[in-house]
Structure 1
Amino acid sequence: MNLEDTIDAENNVSTEQNIGSYQILYRLGKGGSSEVFAAKGPWDQKVAIKIQRRPKKRRRFLQELDIPNSFYHPCLTPIYGYGINNEGWSYLVMDLIEGNSAATYTRKMSSGKKITEAVRICAQVSEALGKMHEKNWIHGDIKSKNILIDRTGQPHLIDFELARPLHETGRGGFFGTRSYAPPEQHEGKKLTTSVDLYALACVLIRMITDNLPYERISNSKQAYIRKTAQPNITGNVPPKLKQLLLQTLSPNPKDRPQEGYLFSRLLCDSINYTPPKPPIPKTYSMSELSNILKEGNLNVRSYIPHLYYFTGASRELAHMFVEQKKEGQQQGWVPPEFGLQWRQKLYDYPSKTIRCMILLAALGGNLRSNTLAAALNLSRRALKEELLKSPDILVYNNGRWNLRFGALDSIILNHKSAPETIRLLNSSKLQDLIYCRIARYISKGNFTEACNLLRVWIDEKADTFRQWIFLQRLLRKGVQLEQYRKILLYRLEGDWIAALHLQTSNEAKQMLKCLESINQGAFHVIGTLKKLCRSTQIDVMIGARSVYSEWHIANGRFHKAARKLKRLCTETDMYPQNIGLQQRAIMHTHLAQTLMLHKIGTQLEKWSITDSHRQMIQRLKNGSLDQNHIPMDKLTNRLPYLKAKSEIQNRNPNDQSIEALPFSLSLGDRAALLSNPIWRDYEQKLRLPPSPKKI
């Protein structure tokens, strides 16, 4: 059976086909040695899967996996994983870039804009090449199709199959794409890093003029033409840029710019282009807010949810509200002039907008368009048209509406009478929302029922900031909820263990006993952990999935670990996401996927509010995070995967340890091990299907 039997090589691909844990959706393209498909991943995200289509190319696929892990740059696309199907064909899983090739991107632009955009894009790609050139590597196949521009205008350099260190060039054969290659590449000679810049100059010329600098001719004449003919650069190209392009297309490699960083600077200088600074976000991250509180000598742990809620993390308001809190601890966070300004301003908004604001204020915001529209008896289109007229107070993001800052909640709710709020909350379309029932009880003054419902909600769901809002409303009414206040603060810090210690349920006690046993090296409780993964109590479920996934990682069962983490990583709340990402980082550490570790670390950094969390993130970015809860050092001699891994790392591999792995690991997990270079000399001992010798 060959690849055509697994995946239709023609245009139509069955969406029922799976590759590993990925469901094929449709084909994106086909090249000489590979085929690329869009697929749905285990986290419900769309990805691109590149499948080997030519025999004996496994090492090239592994090299393509290694390069983004070795040369980090925003233009390099992270590769999530590597796999092998039953027939021995390799595949790579990477980000799906939805956009156009470099030449297509600029095709319909005006002449002036073409030049600016072409220089911007090629300068960024040249910077990425500079990362490779620093270590004497070349991409080797720069062309328009290998530079994709996404919807934001960010370029992505792809396809590293032909990349190689300079010392592996000059062996007499041609590799690359002839229309973009310099004469020495056509002749199979020793190459320099300028080969990539020559090809990038060809891309830039095509982006500006819609044509390549040399006509397509027979392969045997390609090198001769490039040595003897002047490149064709038509159109209104600025003289300084044209001179640089001619220099970069010189047949003599020594006359060209020699590395990507230099060429990037020369490109920008040639048209006096200054790369724009990244726009300053309108909001702060949690980590940045914690720093502002530290600078104001305010307690970070106690005050950060207040600051986030009242200001909506607004850069404009955060410092103002911190100053107010410092000056008048008893008066609260909201400056008097701010409150007065908005009380007056509310009279300027239409009644439909006010009704929407009341619902958002009463329910803690973050409501879907269809929920709001149904509650207000409006169509979604009419709702959106109405609310988009008030961007100063309403924010629309990812299909959800919010008030721009929580400090408006009490102002808005006091703007209308309590009966008006209750009437809106009585909408039949909102009855399934537990927080709507809590809001209704609070509006009616029934704080006991509101408190009981809030406890159930916090026990069973992760909706941290909305829950904090309702908890504060009840605390202001004199209700005793100190235990739940502490639980929410621990969740903000990502500390599910501390949150569990405050709970008295049998499942919470079971989970803590499991953790204690595991820390002592007793693993008879793994079956109990598996059952607790289905708990309806959110802290128990998160803790159980966190530890159980780590147990799978310790056994080398990466796909099972990923399935257990799926629920955490796909939640909308930061608490389960935070825990899920930390455990995914352990998995990527075992597979030596440093670019994924950097990506996860960057995301976790935004939520980091404690020094211990920041230290963990730093370890993660350095690639040293290999355990959170499982004492893997105690398991090294007890689990086949950890034993074999330890022996290989200590340069004392034992054939019997490695040969035992196929009995405990699936093909998918054994193939994933090749992501880490330490395993690549043991393909046969891992009993991986050999790379096919023919199609």
Structure 2
Amino acid sequence: MSKSRDFLGPYRLARLIRIGSTAEVWEAVDDTDMQKKRYALKILRPNYVNDKAELAALKHEFNVGKALNSPRIIKVIDHQTDKGRPFLVLELFSELNMKQALRQGPDSLAFMLDKIIEQAAEGLYYMHTKNWIHRDIKPDNYLVARDGETKLIDFTIAEPKRTGISKLLYKTKNIQGTRSYMSPEQIRGKLCDERSDLYSFGCMLFEMTTGKPPFTGQTPNDLLSKHINASVPSAVAHNKNVTTEFANLIKRLMAKKQDDRPPSVWEFLKEYRTLEIWRKRPRKPDISVFDDMGGTKSAEDLVKRPTGPTDDYEEET
């Protein structure tokens, strides 16, 4: 932005973090605040400021996020429009997401994975207690700090938990999600509940322990078909250091039928806290993945939609 446009409301745009397909994310400073607090602003790009679907998605993300108050979830602070640009004001959590770290290999986080998984599950559990189903659980949507502190982000396609008559009458026009992590019922356009998020969480745990998602495909439909029909792989087959007990827990999270999965994140946590992830605890790498980010901060992944497909069809539907 030019110097004449480097403010939105009271926020001075200090650094462009990312340009996504429909939004920009900036690090911003509140110059009206004595402490010069910093935030992340998610701003619709000029081509989308009159797009009703994008305006509704931004407003929905705000409405979901404003009701969530947990240290395990990114704080959504405000929804504003200035100079014709709608934007969200979010907590700036200045580290990377798990997907970025995993691109350096699973060893990048393995030494503190026990803490990361527990905090990731706690964030998801809290969201469920507020009667929201996230529907896009994946490594990209968890930010992780150098000490293992972990926060859940991105509520763009979250849905309220359905009960009673609304549960019976549920219909969806659009199947949404990220193909590498979608539960069979989500792929079929059926009602999602806590166990649907747990399936996606299991896919994420598989990737966090092995460095690769549980299923890949030559085409998008091939990948989706594997979630529905293929046998769930064991993490032990890809990483001998994973304990059998933890690998079996991942497989239960990824059961094809919802009733065969743990009934809630709380039940997962209770069992998880009795297990070991690793046969031998990994050592902390000599070179930290956090030292190789080139100044990039985790707020870049607060943008919802990727700009294009990836090789193993992890793009969203």
Shorter-chain TM-score bucket reads 0.7 to 0.9
In the alignment, residue 244 of structure 1 is paired with which amino acid? L
Distance 1:28 1:136, change over 3 A: same
In the alignment, what sits opposite 1:235? 239
| Higher RCO (C-alpha 8 Å, min separation 6) | 2
Matches within 5 A, 1:316-465: none
In the alignment, residue 253 of structure 1 is paired with which amino acid? Q
Quote the Cα distance in structure 2 between the aligned partners of 1:163 and 1:192. Answer: 11
Quote the Cα distance in structure 1 between the aligned partners of 2:136 and 2:243. Answer: 27
Quote the Cα distance in structure 1 between the aligned partners of 2:130 and 2:265. Answer: 12
In the alignment, what sits opposite 1:126? 121
- Say if 2:62 is the partner of 1:58: no
Query: 1:188: how far off?
Result: 1.2
Match of 1:93 among 66, 89, 93: 89
Match of 1:47 among 39, 52, 55: 39
Structure 2 unaligned runs (5+)? 279-317
Quote the Cα distance in structure 2 between the aligned partners of 1:14 and 1:213. Answer: 47
Q: Structure 1, residues 155-197: CA drift from partner, whole Å, max 9, x if none?
A: 1111111111133864142112111111221221111211211
Distance 1:227 1:30, change over 3 A: same
Q: Cα RMSD between the aligned structures?
A: 2.7
TM (norm. structure 2) is 0.73
Could you tell me whether the CA contact under 8 Å between 1:99 and 1:148 is conserved in 2? Answer: yes
In the alignment, what sits opposite 1:75? 72
Matches within 5 A, 1:638-649: none
Q: Structure 1, residues 483-515: CA drift from partner, whole Å, max 9, x if none?
A: xxxxxxxxxxxxxxxxxxxxxxxxxxxxxxxxx
Q: Structure 1, residues 57-82: CA drift from partner, whole Å, max 9, x if none?
A: 33332332233442322111222322
In the alignment, what sits opposite 2:249? 244
Query: 1:51: how far off?
Result: 1.3
Could you tell me whether the CA contact under 8 Å between 2:61 and 2:154 is conserved in 1? Answer: yes
In the alignment, what sits opposite 1:343? none
- Structure number with the higher helix fraction is 1
Could you tell me whether the CA contact under 8 Å between 1:122 and 1:264 is conserved in 2? Answer: no
User: Number of paired residues?
Assistant: 260
In the alignment, what sits opposite 1:29? 18
Could you tell me whether the CA contact under 8 Å between 2:134 and 2:197 is conserved in 1? Answer: yes
SS of residue in 1 equivalent to 2:205: helix
Match of 2:259 among 254, 268, 271: 254
Could you tell me whether the CA contact under 8 Å between 1:107 and 1:207 is conserved in 2? Answer: no
- Structure number with the higher strand fraction is 2
Query: 1:106: how far off?
Result: 5.8
TM (norm. structure 1) is 0.35
Could you tell me whether the CA contact under 8 Å between 1:138 and 1:165 is conserved in 2? Answer: yes
SS of residue in 1 equivalent to 2:16: strand
Matches within 5 A, 1:275-674: none
Quote the Cα distance in structure 2 between the aligned partners of 1:267 and 1:160. Answer: 25
Could you tell me whether the CA contact under 8 Å between 1:126 and 1:197 is conserved in 2? Answer: no
Structure 1 unaligned runs (5+)? 1-6, 8-12, 274-695
Could you tell me whether the CA contact under 8 Å between 2:80 and 2:86 is conserved in 1? Answer: yes
SS of residue in 1 equivalent to 2:40: strand
Distance 1:198 1:40, change over 3 A: same
Could you tell me whether the CA contact under 8 Å between 2:172 and 2:190 is conserved in 1? Answer: yes
Quote the Cα distance in structure 1 between the aligned partners of 2:93 and 2:174. Answer: 32
Please tell me whether Structure 1 or Structure 2 has the larger radius of gyration of its CA atoms.
1
Quote the Cα distance in structure 2 between the aligned partners of 1:158 and 1:60. Answer: 14
